[in-house]
Amino acid sequence: MPEDQAQDTQVHGHCDARFTAVRQAFEENFRERGELGAAVAVTVGGETVVDLWCGWADPARTRPWERDTLVNVWSTSKGPVALCAHILADRGLLDLDAPVADYWPEFAAAGKDKVLVRHLLSHRAGLSGLREPHSLEQLCDWELTTTRLAATQPWWEPGTRSGYHALTYGFLVGEVVRRVSGLLPGAFLEREVTGPLGIDFRIGLPETETGRAAELDRPPAATRSEQAAIFGQLPPAVIATVANPAVDAREANTPEWRAAEIPAANGHGTARAVAALYGVFAGRGTYGGRRILSPEAAERVREGQGRCRDLVLGAALAAETEIGLGLWLSGPNGSYGPNPRAFGHDGFGGSCGLADPEAGVSLGYVMNRMGPHIADDPRKTALVNALYRAL
């Protein structure tokens, strides 16, 4: 076997014997599912039982994936953002049933005075995308983006249905976090969670850490004519969500994207870090011997807000789904394992964070070769299925 191929499939790290099935599924992702570089971690009862990495940190295969390689995990970042809001709610500083405008007065514009904080967390605010053109450069401007969101009109009646807020979620929830705490969500998360627990995860990557960042890779995009045909069939709210602005691996590899505060989509971390953050939920609020949330607050995170066909992702998902207060429920679809009350979040292209309090288990999976799936990437599904076979 050529040296570069041997490196490509050489798995590093440790895996408890009980979870050999997870290691085997991880190896199969490289042999059979086109993996480039990736890592997976599992915790049980707050203890790390799987911590594996393999492959390459760049498409040119010049940098091996290391133990401390960071990668953009896209919407898997939304779990940590939700955690910030729940910490504030747990302390009595934020009422999830209060109007958003109680904390962010400008938000009451355009008929949004009755939108509740829980509507932001559950993707029911009707603000999945902006109505006016918004560039990537403008998306990196926190004040401009939140000002436009405060002024805009919802695409549907808030509170009635979920519609995935792909990029706006982090600005909406994050601005409430900022108004209450005085800190942007990245700084709040670092002060309250990742700093004290030593978790290697950041929202907005400092320049000093970019040398550890993996380069995302994605198959060739659709041609302009193909995109036009696709977008011509989509409702305006969906187009605003996925294409205003349109972002992909190319944009996410830029210094501007990495450095910005885009909480819904530009969290950078290791699989170990993702497993630890979702481990807070799996541990019913406790991780690493430190209580982050009360048991009641941790339970509230998975309070279902109603099963429905998502207004944005409905055409891309095979069935109805249900979102809790910040994370998706496994439900009858089994997206996060056979326990319907397990929950988690997938990231664009394949990454995943999973929490199952009943089993006391969390999982983090990160990778740099993005797949075409909105959710339930086959590589993630193989790892989740292997984890539950081992339990």
- Predicted confidence band at 8 (pLDDT cuts at 50, 70, 90)? low
Per-residue model confidence (pLDDT) at position 233: 59
Per-residue model confidence (pLDDT) at position 142: 98
Strand partners, 269: 71, 201
Mean pLDDT, to the nearest integer, of 97-103?
A: 98
- Predicted confidence band at 92 (pLDDT cuts at 50, 70, 90)? very high
Spatial CA neighbour of 189 closest among 276, 74, 67, 299: 276
Mean pLDDT, to the nearest integer, of 324-351?
A: 96
Helix, strand, or coil (residue 181): helix
Q: What angle do CA 268, 322, 287 make, to 5 degrees?
A: 45
Asked if residue 231 has pLDDT above 60, the reply is: no
Per-residue model confidence (pLDDT) at position 348: 94
Per-residue model confidence (pLDDT) at position 81: 98
Mean pLDDT, to the nearest integer, of 62-73?
A: 98
**pTM for this structure?**
0.95
> Number of C-alpha atoms within 13 angstroms, CB side, residue 263?
32
Per-residue model confidence (pLDDT) at position 218: 85
pLDDT digits (tens, 9 = 90+) for 117-166: 999 999 999 999 999 999 999 999 999 999 999 999 999 999 999 999 99
Contacts of 17 (CB under 8 A, 6+ apart): none
Compute CA 184 distance to the chain's CA centroid, rounded to the nearest angstrom. Answer: 17
Q: What angle do CA 330, 332, 335 make, to 5 degrees?
A: 35
Mean pLDDT, to the nearest integer, of 276-300?
A: 97
Asked if residue 314 has pLDDT above 90, the reply is: no
Per-residue model confidence (pLDDT) at position 373: 80
Contacts of 187 (CB under 8 A, 6+ apart): none
Per-residue model confidence (pLDDT) at position 2: 43
- Predicted confidence band at 372 (pLDDT cuts at 50, 70, 90)? confident
Per-residue model confidence (pLDDT) at position 223: 55
Helix, strand, or coil (residue 252): helix
Active site residues: 75
The sheet that has 352-356: what strands, in order across it?
Answer: 12-15, 47-55, 37-44, 361-367, 352-356, 343-346, 328-329
Per-residue model confidence (pLDDT) at position 174: 98
- Predicted confidence band at 263 (pLDDT cuts at 50, 70, 90)? very high
Are 119 and 158 spatial neighbours (Cβ–Cβ below 8 Å)? Answer: yes
Per-residue model confidence (pLDDT) at position 144: 98
Asked if residue 222 has pLDDT above 60, the reply is: no
Name the token pair of 188: 């709040």
Mean pLDDT, to the nearest integer, of 356-365?
A: 98
Distance CA 324, CA 307 (A): 10
- Predicted confidence band at 239 (pLDDT cuts at 50, 70, 90)? confident
Asked if residue 4 has pLDDT above 60, the reply is: no
- Predicted confidence band at 7 (pLDDT cuts at 50, 70, 90)? low
Distance CA 151, CA 220 (A): 36
Mean predicted lDDT score pLDDT of the chain? 93
Mean pLDDT, to the nearest integer, of 265-271?
A: 98
Least confident stretch, 181-195, 277-291, 309-323: 309-323
